Chains A and B, each alone.
Chain A
């Protein structure tokens, strides 16, 4: 269920001792992003419900002199809310979490750079390296691709498979999916660039998703194949004229991504762009 954001009344929250304006009920992490206060995060996406899986965005909430840890992506702004983002406690746990991520996604540059930014450059845990991993040992199971695919696109082509430490994301039976639109929304939202997609002639190949192939439609002017056939039809049917014209102005390389983005905007009015 997506909760529509109705801007609440203006209030003040305190982050690291400084006061900021916010709307009541607003997600604290989004306040921090707006105010350029760095809080690491992997599973937050403004157009989706708070999910709270990556645990990197934890902050300390100060209440009546007591401190309590909470994820800032699920914390709602209320008047007088006071949080600290870099206490020794937070740094300690965050570092261990980064070590766990470095072991889980050893091939991800994004994770490596992010961890380094928070002072973690090595992990004490055994690295997981799996030959032939469709996600290139980069996936951190943030779930954004799964949620974008089902909650935003309505395709439901990919999902979590198994449970606990055996969890992976892929298509059912690791077989090419008939439900995939080839929209690339998953590729776009993946924070670790783990998902591989390639356009080959008249087809788009979702290499990470069991080699799912989706037919593309050719550009009317230059004849180049550029967007999934089914998807562009459904998106174009919904777009109003100015947007159609805007699409016409875009270069073919960007259109595929743009269509996915328009779809997201059309449905939820949020930003599909991941920070």
Chain B
């Protein structure tokens, strides 16, 4: 069936709604990579074993992940007329009890994490689940959730990512319909520009402006690309966005393609994410069936399709020119800019190309749906919207945290994350991965926005926040990152290829207590040159972990260095 009108959409939406909220109880198991890694699949299989393949009284479903990683595996239960209840730390051994309770219209209260009576999917659908289960804490009262604002993760863990109908049921693709059939491309770009959305891939370049440049670039053939390389080791929000709500990414790209005037799209995704790749493939297939990708979308005459290109394990391929080289079948060695990707001759196969991060694309449907004013009202001035962070390392509540930009590190690490795991004292966080810096706990009142993080020597990056506690050796952390960057350097330019190698040798010498003050001097000279002379962002930012640990944890170096 092809969807061409609001009426068609409505029909699909009703069918989807019946899947999300069937007339019988639904047990939905969180099955993203993370949930599977801690046994979610075994829980699913066990429940299926108990209730049988087709059960007239209970619906069993797979959903994505709501992001409270510490409490995985998560299972949510909807009983008609009652609030949605999230169960946590579910094991196959709990399955029997869960099924028995659900059969009676109950839930196992001791396994319940929280209840959700009402959920706003933002894109035009508010789910009123119902009342009851008063003994279970409300979602808003769970400390991990209470300070979060779910805009990007609005559907994560609540809908089945492999069912396009469910996405449409919560208002999905309505923004695309609105944009393609009722808005001029320029008006969409204006809207994105006014929303203040900045690129979520790290540098924070205004998305609307990039689209405008791409739209105005000369040439008939152009590309849009979604950067799903997610190279920062310790960051996994893009993985969850694609695994839990893949249509959100596709819808964002569809709207962007229409605004820029492009008919070819690609998702460049790392090969280490096989489940995300599969779910995107499924989603693309379903979107094509409904005519939401392909020729003459919504009968507007506009055509657009999306292909998938996989990476092969190279951090540098997240860099724009290396990414394009990689898709073209070459090694990911960056080339000097200009030409930028948006310039004629600079993009994929030489055609002007717009490249945006997964999460940047995810913001588009809500911006179109709710309007730029609504969106700009979230977050801080010049830093509007929310951002998803992966809060990991030695923090008590690990998980995906979505907060308005401008939220302080204190709120993220202490209020939401509950401080160090095992009551240890938090010493620092690393934001921005290998390109970012180590921020000491005394600077945790810093608001997390692009400029404030830069000011203290770090970067926003893609949103990884790795927490370190009193046991973490900061010089070892610096060495870890330099080792990472050195082995991920493409090897094209000498400051990065050779400079990082020697930086690593010096750090090894320091950690072996064989270094002198002189080595520290060489270290700071060398890192300065790497920053100033490297060809691409990898080399230019790789010394940040050394520079910040030297600035904030100098005593740890001094303690290792001979006079």
Contacts and interface: CB of A to CB of B under 8 A. Distances in A.
Q: Do chains A and B touch in the complex (CB under 8 A)?
A: yes
Interface of A: 1, 3, 50-55, 58, 69, 71, 74, 89, 92-93, 96-97, 100-101, 103-104, 124-126, 140-141, 143, 160, 162-167
B491 A162 contact: yes
Interface stretch (B120-128, B148-156, B521-529): B521-529
Contacts of B333: 160
Interface stretch (B284-292, B378-386, B494-502): B494-502
Contacts of A89: 532
Interface of B: 314, 331, 333, 335-336, 345, 350, 486-495, 497-502, 505, 522, 525-526, 528-529, 532-535
B522 A124 contact: yes
Residue with the highest number of chain B CB atoms closer than 10 Å, among A55, A58, A103, A124: A55
B492 A143 contact: yes
B486 A165 contact: yes
A140 B489 CA distance: 16
29 contacts: A52-B493, A52-B535, A54-B494, A55-B495, A55-B533, A69-B532, A71-B336, A92-B529, A93-B528, A96-B499, A97-B494, A100-B494, A100-B495, A100-B502, A103-B502, A104-B494, A124-B522, A126-B505, A141-B491, A143-B492, A160-B333, A163-B314, A164-B490, A164-B497, A165-B486, A165-B497, A165-B500, A166-B491, A167-B491
B495 A58 contact: no
A103 B493 contact: no
Contact of B502 (A93, A125, A160): A125
Contact of A97 (B336, B488, B495, B522): B495
A212 to B, nearest CB: 22
Contact of B491 (A3, A54, A96, A163): A163
Contact of A165 (B314, B336, B487): B487
Contacts of A50: 336
B430 to A, nearest CB: 21
Contact of A93 (B335, B345, B529): B529
A164 B336 contact: no
A69 B530 CA distance: 13
Nearest to B532: A93
A51 B495 CA distance: 15
Nearest to B350: A1
A58 B494 CA distance: 13
Contacts of B500: 164-165
A166 B491 CA distance: 8
Contacts of B336: 50-52, 71, 74
A164 B504 CA distance: 13
B435 to A, nearest CB: 16
B494 A140 contact: yes
B331 to A, nearest CB: 7
Contacts of A52: 335-336, 493, 535
B314 to A, nearest CB: 7
B64 to A, nearest CB: 34
B318 to A, nearest CB: 15
Contacts of B502: 100, 103, 125-126
A50 B532 CA distance: 19
Given A50-B336, A125-B502, A141-B491, A167 B529 contact: no
A54 B489 CA distance: 15
Closest 10 CB pairs of A and B: A167-B491, A52-B336, A164-B489, A96-B529, A74-B336, A100-B498, A165-B501, A164-B491, A93-B529, A55-B533
B163 to A, nearest CB: 41
Contacts of A69: 532-533
Given A96-B529, A126-B502, A53 B489 contact: no
Contacts of A162: 491
Contacts of A53: 492-494, 535
B498 A104 contact: yes
B501 A93 contact: no
B494 A163 contact: no
Given A50-B336, A53-B535, A93-B529, A165 B495 contact: no
A112 B499 CA distance: 18
A100 B491 contact: no
B70 to A, nearest CB: 35
A58 B487 contact: no
B497 A96 contact: no
Contacts of B350: 1
A141 B497 contact: yes
